[in-house]
Amino acid sequence: MSKAFVKEGSDAPEQDASAEPATLPAGAKNYISRTGYARLDTERRQLVQGERPEVVRVVSWAASNGDRSENGDYIYGKRRLREIDRRVRYLIKRLENAEIVDCAGRDTDQVFFGATVTLRSGAGERTVTIVGVDEVDPAHGRVSWISPIARALLKARAGDVVTLATPAGPETLEIMDVKYNEID
C-alpha cells in the first residue's frame, strides 16, 4: 500500500537496540560516574539545543512546500523528531535517577564500583573497569556493575581468586591488582 493512503501516525515505532542500554534490575539504583553523567547530559543538551531545532527548521520548510504525503523531507524529518524526543525523554529519566559515585582516589584493594581490576585467567591477563549501565564499553574493558563478571568481583580483594559462571562452565579469575582512577 502506498504511504499516501496511510495515516502518518500509524508507522510502527522503530526500535534502535543500541540507543538504550540494558535496564536496571527492579529496585536497583542507577549508579554512574561523574564523567558518565556529564556525557549523558552533554548528549541531552546537544539534542535539545543543536539537532532538534535544525530538524524542526527543515520540517517547517518541508511543510510549507505543500503536499506532505509524498514529501520525503517532511516524513523523515517528523520521524527523526520522534526519535530525538524519545531519546531526550530517556536521557532525562536516566539523569534524574542517576546516583553519582565519586570513586577517584579511593584507597583500598577491595573491588567496588569504579574499580579498575587486572585479572588473570586461563585465557590470559585482562583489565576491566566496573562502571554504570549507561557507560558500558566492552571494547575498552568497561563492564556494568550488574554484569556477571562484576558481580563475581565485587567485594573481593587483590590476591583473591573468584569463580565466574560462564556458559562454557566455571572460570577461575585471580585478581592481580585493584586501582581507582577517574573514569574517562
Across the range 53-78, mean pLDDT stands at 87
What is the tens place of the pLDDT at every residue in 124-178?
999 999 999 999 999 999 999 999 999 999 999 999 999 999 898 999 999 999 9
User: Domains, the chain, ranges and CATH?
Assistant: 29-100 (1.10.287.180), 115-180 (3.10.50.30)
Average pLDDT of span 58-68: 84
Q: Is the pLDDT of residue 52 over 80?
A: yes
DSSP-assigned letter for residue 10: G
Order across the sheet with 161-166: list the strands: 142-144, 124-131, 115-121, 169-180, 161-166
Residues 6+ apart with CB under 8 A from 163: 152, 170, 171, 172, 173
Full-model pTM? 0.76
What's the Cα-to-Cα distance from 115 to each of 124, 155, 178, rounded to whole Å? 20, 11, 6
Q: What is the DSSP string of 130-141?
A: EE-TTS-BGGGT
- Sequential DSSP letters for 16-75: -TTTS-PPPPTT--EEE-HHHHHHHHHHHHHIIIIIHHHHHHHHHHHHTTS--TT-HHHH
Coil, helix or strand for 154? coil
Q: Which residue has the higher pLDDT, 45 or 63?
A: 45
